[in-house]
Amino acid sequence: MRPLMQPTSGLKLSHTHTVPRNLVHRRAVAEVFPTDSATDGDRLLVACQLPAGHALYNDREQPFVDPLLVLEAARQSAILCCLRHLGAAPDACFVVRSAELRIVHPLRHEPGDPPWDVILHCHPDDLRTIDGELAGGTLRMTLHANDVAVASISFAFSALAPELYRSLREPGMQRARDHTPATPPRYLPLEPGHLGRKNADNVVIAAPDAETPRDWPVIVRTDHAGFFDHPLDHVSAAVIVEACRQAAHATCPALAVTGDLVSMHARFSAFAELGPPLYARVADVPLSTHEEASLTVSLIQLGASIATVDVTLRATAEIA
């Protein structure tokens, strides 16, 4: 049994069961990772369990906890903090403006190992309210395990009333309806082994055309339970970030299997709509060696950039 880091104030957090699924905007209980939360002075604390047998996040060749599992646990924790502690309306719609992840100390995880019980230290910043309800801000987090800070995460977000969210979304959704092909293209996923994956169902990019060798088509499967736990009116951020990571692996063959994500900074300028083709475009010349690669990937839809994601991969031998 791994030792847990508990708050220095003596406050004890539980890992015995998950929080209610509605507090993290999940439909399946199995997709809920936070287990408890509390205030501790000027910070918020969230306990999470990182699963050992998840169909998406445990489908990798690397012997470490998936960094994007850390990001997803933090994203759910941010929603929990907003709804339970920071005064967001129960029906608030959350829109992520930017997300940043940095892995300081990867959590080793081999087949057969138990799940990791961890604690997130969350620091709210620049909170905004409208009529007494949370309207947005920034959450800066540090994930702790075994008395060690292993990752830092931050989210800048807006919390919108449902009617405001609908009015914000309608123009983009209508444009998507106007530009969705009558017969959508059917892409063949890349071989999972070329991306450090085992299951082709978790591959979200296809090979680019010869005319556009830096534009990796993004495969959007709304029936994928890991990427779409519940119906959405847009492409999930989980698909976007995973597509950028896979495009980085595919662009840097020396790190395709041996490399792992150590940092990511995503800026979202628009929603990725369901229907029109979506591409992960890698910048011209990635800064790359056999030990590390830094790339910028843009998400392109209908000729416009809707997100920019900076990705750094590092050889697992260098981060072990």
Q: 3-state DSSP helix/strand/coil percent for the chain, to nearest 5?
A: 20, 35, 40
Average pLDDT, the chain: 92
What value does the mean pLDDT take over residues 45-51? 97
* φ/ψ (deg, to 5) at 56: -95, -50
Q: Give residue 29's pLDDT band: very low, low, confident or very high (50, 70, 90).
A: very high
CA distance linking residue 120 with residue 34, whole number of Å: 9
Percent of the chain with pLDDT over 90: 82
CA distance linking residue 245 with residue 67, whole number of Å: 11
For the cut 90, the answer to whether the pLDDT of residue 146 exceeds it is no
Q: Find the radius of gyration of the CA atoms of the chain.
A: 19
For the cut 60, the answer to whether the pLDDT of residue 5 exceeds it is no
CA distance linking residue 31 with residue 23, whole number of Å: 12
Q: Are 267 and 307 in contact (CB under 8 A)?
A: yes
Tell me what pLDDT residue 258 has: 79
- Burial of 70 by CB count in 10 Å (0-12 exposed, 13-18 middle, 19+ buried)? buried
Percent of the chain with pLDDT over 70: 94
For the cut 60, the answer to whether the pLDDT of residue 1 exceeds it is no
Tell me what pLDDT residue 69 has: 97
For 65-115, the pLDDT digits (tens) are: 999 999 999 999 999 999 999 999 999 999 999 999 999 999 999 888 999
For the cut 60, the answer to whether the pLDDT of residue 319 exceeds it is no
Which of 55-64, 110-119, 133-142 has the highest average model confidence (pLDDT)? 133-142
Q: Give residue 6's pLDDT band: very low, low, confident or very high (50, 70, 90).
A: very low
Tell me what pLDDT residue 4 has: 43
Among 123-137, 193-207, 228-242, 306-320, the range scoring the smallest mean pLDDT is 306-320
DSSP-based three-state secondary structure for 252: coil
For the cut 80, the answer to whether the pLDDT of residue 284 exceeds it is no
Domains in the chain, please, with CATH?
A: 21-160 (3.10.129.10), 164-319 (3.10.129.10)
The alpha carbon of 16 is separated from its chain's Cα centroid by a whole number of angstroms, namely 24
What sign has the CA pseudo-torsion 255, 261, 265, 270?
A: positive
CA distance linking residue 250 with residue 190, whole number of Å: 9
| Close Cβ partners of 6 (under 8 Å, ≥ 6 residues apart) | 12, 13, 119
DSSP-based three-state secondary structure for 157: strand
DSSP-based three-state secondary structure for 220: coil
Whole-prediction pTM: 0.93
Tell me what pLDDT residue 318 has: 54
For the cut 60, the answer to whether the pLDDT of residue 172 exceeds it is yes
Question: Which position has the token pair 């019980």?
Answer: 117
More confident of the two residues 255 and 300: 300
For the cut 90, the answer to whether the pLDDT of residue 217 exceeds it is yes
Closest CA to 155 of 228, 94, 97: 97
What value does the mean pLDDT take over residues 161-188? 95
What value does the mean pLDDT take over residues 212-218? 96
Tell me what pLDDT residue 3 has: 42
For 218-263, the pLDDT digits (tens) are: 999 999 999 999 999 999 999 999 999 999 999 988 887 778 999 9
DSSP-based three-state secondary structure for 52: coil
